[in-house]
Amino acid sequence: MIPYIHRDISWLAFNYRVLQEAKDPNVPLFERLKFLAIYSSNLDEFFRVRVANHRSLLRTGKKTRTSLDFEPSEILTKILKIVNAQQEEFSKIFEKQIVPALKKTGIHILRRKRLNEDQIEFIETYFKDNMLPFVQPVLLVGDKIKPFLNTGSLYLALHLNDINDDKKKSQYAVVKIPSEHLPRFIELPSQEEGRHDIIVLDDIVRHNVRELFPGYDILDSYSIKLTRDAELYIDDEYSGDLISKIKKSLNKRNVGIASRMVYDRQVPKEMLEYLSQVFELSQYDKLPEGRYHNNADFFKLPNFGKEAYLDSPQPPLPIEELEEAESIFDKIYKKDYIVHVPYQSYNSVVKFFEDAANDPKVTHIKIIQYRVAKKSKIMDALRLAVKNGKQVTAFVEVKARFDEEANLIWGEKLEKAGVNVHYSMPGLKVHSKIAMVRRLEGEEGMLYTYLSTGNFHEDTAKIYSDIGIFTANPKLTSEAARVFNYLETKIRPTKPFKYFGVGQFNLKPMLIDLIKNEIKNAENGKPAKIVLKMNSIHDEEMIQYLYKASQKGVDVKMIIRGICSLVPGVKNVSTNIEAISIVDRYLEHARIFMFHNNGDTKIYLSSADWMVRNLHRRVETMFPILDKELQSVIIDLLTIQLMDNVKSRYIHYKDNNVYRKDTTDLPMRSQVETYYYMKRYMDKKNNKVTQP
């Protein structure tokens, strides 16, 4: 049996790296809070999707369809054990580190029993004026009254007694905490200058809950939250109206089967058993947490202008050659350009579409929409282009998880504007990140493309590290045109792709051939090296090829942010494979694949990770970097990341998530170094432009 880590166990190791950032005292205080929020948000989605899937398998008695079969009960048990330990550490980080650190800055998170008279009066008035319509108190009566708990919503579970009941029999109730309607953190009046007192919304409900149950003694209250299965179960994608089926499934998402109930770990055993019975929860559905849930709300904790406790600004670097050009196409015609967000500005990408919309020579615009900002200048430019007589085509992937509704809305807006919209393909997701413009130049016209590792999303371009290129190289633009032709006509291309690797056609075989070439070179005594940067690797066959490469002497370096089912460092299996993960202020999202190729280095950027879903069930695009200057830049960027000794951790079969250290005393934080590298690169480019 080959060494292999279950994808969900590996994912939990990744999420722990996020938690490591929250407990790192070198990270600014409010950034540590942000990482607590990211950890919690990640975990919510994990339970709504992955754990819900295991629960479904457990109910049906099925295993996963792979040679590496597992028992769902075994995986669920491991998941809950790991998450329980992480949640305990989460609570300690918040209570023992974050709360005291906030106090030192003058920010005090107060519980209700520590309020003064003015503050008590304030929260009682606030409750009556703002919260009463939303709290929805319900007395639980065994099997007779079972309130429906909204997925992700916060509730207080109450232990109470009827004051007229001589036997003082325990009764239970639930009350909603209306965090969907009101801020989670409420500032309290404070008479001390420079002091900021805050109370969590939950504790305002706790204080006032007696008003909701006259005639009862409230013995105690504990917070709970239910999350539900978020999978869209579509019986048949191949017949009928797929979009209509997706819309119907979206309506059912928030009423799916419970995949988790989180509860205050102080809940008495008897009360927990009662709640489990009422809400029909099994042993795999319950997860203890601290006093508060929905900790993704830490994103919204006010910082009262304390900028010193945030990351220092890194303003995106403008690509002046493109952003200030009269026509961006005149520049791209002459050479390729790299766009490395968030270090470089995304304005040039927006300008690509805006110039296309207004340029009288442009006849066609094509784009793949996977995730898009709610307010998007790019989408606005597409609608303007139609008004200006362009033929605009957008492929809208509606099955992008948790963006389905937003993509449907944008698709309908584009259709109303006159854009030719194509929607999801049955059985596949379209995950490519490419756009193309056709311009009247010469006899046949000229194609310009933007090829990227990230979505056309102006908001995530500020926090996701992605790389894109502008090119008019016909070797690349012609193959991009064939991808669009397939998406629009659903007719498989008869001519094979030569430069692109495209999911459903040649992507996986092309990657395997590239690995085999390095193996062959190693066997012939030639230098052989592979550097892979991606979000996740899970595909068993690809892992086996990398193991074989390691055994044949190929030097394999990997930078994996998230899931890594491959196990580096195992004797006689993966000795020559070293893997690190970088978690820092920006989310590492770029996919870069570099193959030594006996000195004639091949570099590819891609939309695809090496997951089963990417390599088998999606239309992905991998494209080569043909420009020698851009090749050099990307090699430098990879080198900087491989040298990181501040924010990189080893992925290793023994010392997993141990921070990578080296023999130098010089700290190398790759995301900081990358910013200044790109700044030097841009300054040099600007000097070249201004020279006579």
The average pLDDT across 30-54 equals 92
**pLDDT reported for residue 67:** 44
The average pLDDT across 309-317 equals 95
In terms of phi and psi (left: phi > 0; alpha: psi -120 to 50; beta: otherwise), the region of 490 is left
**pLDDT reported for residue 691:** 39
Percent of the chain at pLDDT above 90?
75
- Give the model's confidence band at 283: pLDDT under 50 very low, under 70 low, under 90 confident, else very high: confident
Structural domains of the chain in order of their starting residue, each with its CATH number: 7-305 (3.30.1840.10), 327-495 (3.30.870.10), 502-690 (3.30.870.10)
The average pLDDT across 490-503 equals 94
Alpha carbon 48 to chain centroid, angstroms: 14
Q: What is the pTM of this model?
A: 0.92
**pLDDT reported for residue 73:** 86
- Residue 619 to residue 85: CA distance in whole angstroms: 38
Strand 464-471, strand 446-452: pairing: antiparallel
- Give the model's confidence band at 484: pLDDT under 50 very low, under 70 low, under 90 confident, else very high: very high
**pLDDT reported for residue 578:** 97
**pLDDT reported for residue 4:** 92
The average pLDDT across 642-670 equals 91
| Residue among 6, 196, 364, 431 flagged as catalytic | 431
Is residue 97 within 8 A of residue 23, CB to CB? The reply is: yes
CA distances from 42 to 12, 310, 372, 622 (A): 10, 22, 20, 27
Q: Is the pLDDT of residue 282 over 80?
A: yes
Among this protein's residues, is 431 annotated catalytic? yes
- Residue 100 to residue 506: CA distance in whole angstroms: 55
Sign of CA dihedral 293, 298, 300, 303: positive
Alpha carbon 165 to chain centroid, angstroms: 52
Identify the weakest region by mean pLDDT among 155-159, 240-244, 266-270.
240-244
Strand 286-289, strand 258-264: pairing: parallel
Token pair 């793949």 in the structure block, residue: 368
Q: Is the pLDDT of residue 567 over 70?
A: yes
**pLDDT reported for residue 250:** 60
Average pLDDT score over the chain: 91
Q: Is the pLDDT of residue 611 over 70?
A: yes
**pLDDT reported for residue 664:** 83
Q: Is the pLDDT of residue 57 over 70?
A: yes
**pLDDT reported for residue 400:** 73
The amino acid that residue 202 corresponds to is: D
Q: Is the pLDDT of residue 235 over 70?
A: no
For 583, the token pair is 């978690």
**pLDDT reported for residue 690:** 39
Is residue 562 within 8 A of residue 593, CB to CB? The reply is: no
Find the Cα–Cα–Cα–Cα dihedral 148, 151, 153, 159, rounded to 10°: 40
DSSP 256-272: S-EEEEEEETTS-HHHH
**pLDDT reported for residue 251:** 62
Q: Is the pLDDT of residue 689 over 60?
A: no
Q: Is the pLDDT of residue 23 over 90?
A: yes
Percent of the chain at pLDDT above 70?
93
- Give the model's confidence band at 531: pLDDT under 50 very low, under 70 low, under 90 confident, else very high: very high
User: How do residues 414-467 score in pLDDT, each as one tens digit?
Assistant: 999 999 999 988 888 999 999 999 999 988 899 999 999 999 999 999 999 999
Q: Is the pLDDT of residue 395 over 70?
A: yes
**pLDDT reported for residue 39:** 96
